[in-house]
Structure 1
Amino acid sequence: MRYLFEDYTFDSDRRELHRGAEMVPITPQVFDLLDYLIRNRECVVSKDDLIRAIWNGRAVSDAALTTRLNAARNAIGDTGEKQHLIKTLPRKGFRFVGTIFEDRQRAAQSASLATHGGDLGKVPSSAPRLSIVVLPFANPGGDPNHDYFVDGMTESLTTDLSRISGSFVIAHNTALTFKGKAVDVRQIGRELNVRYVLEGSVQRGGNRLRVNVQLIDAETGNHLWAERFDKPVADLFDMQDEIVSRLANTLNALLIAVEARRAERLPNPDATDLCFQGAAWFNRRLTPEYMAQARGFYERALALEPGNVEALVGTAGVSCTIGTNHLTDDRIEHLTAAEAAVTKALSLAPNHPRAHNVLGIVQIFSNRAAQGIAECERALALDRNLANAHAHIGLAKLYLGRGGETEAHMEQAFRLSPRDTLVYVWSLIVGLAKFWHGADTEAIVWLRRSLEANRNYPLAHFYLATVLAQVGELDEARAAAQAGLALNPSFNIRRYRTNTPSDQPVYLAGRERFIEGMRMAGVPEG
Structure 2
Amino acid sequence: GELATVATDIYSLGAMLYELLADKPPPPPSSATKCSPDDASRLMCSLERLPSQSVTDAKTKHELQGQLDRIVERAMEKEPSKRYPSVAGLASDIEQYLNGKAVSRTSGAQLGGARRTAKTRRRWYIAAPVVGIILLAAWLFLLRGKVASLKDYTMTHKTAPVAPAAIPNGSIRSIAVLPFEPLGKNVNGELLGLGMADAVIGRMSSLKQLLVVPTSAVLKYKGPSGDPLAAGRALHVDAILTGTVQQSGDRLRVTVQLVGSGSGRTLWSEKFDQTFTDIFGIQDSISDKVSRSLVRDLTEDQQKHLSKHYTNNTAAYDSYLMGLYFWNQRSKDSLEKAIEYFRQAVERDPSYALAYAMMADCYYLQLYYGFNSAPDRIRNAKAAAERALQLDDSVAEGHVATAMVQFYQNGDGAITELAHQGSMESLRRAVALNPNLAIAHQRYAWALCAFGHLDDGVPEMKLAQELDPLSPTNNTALGIILAFARQFREALEYCHKAAELDPNSGPIQENLAYAYTLNGMYQQAIERYQKELDLNPGNKAVVLASVATFLVAAGRSADAEGIMRELTDLSKAGKADPYDMRQGRSLRYDAAICCPRREGASVRMVR
TM-score with structure 1 setting the length: 0.47
Q: Which has the larger Rg?
A: 2
TM-score with structure 2 setting the length: 0.42
Query: More strand by proportion, 1 or 2?
Result: 1
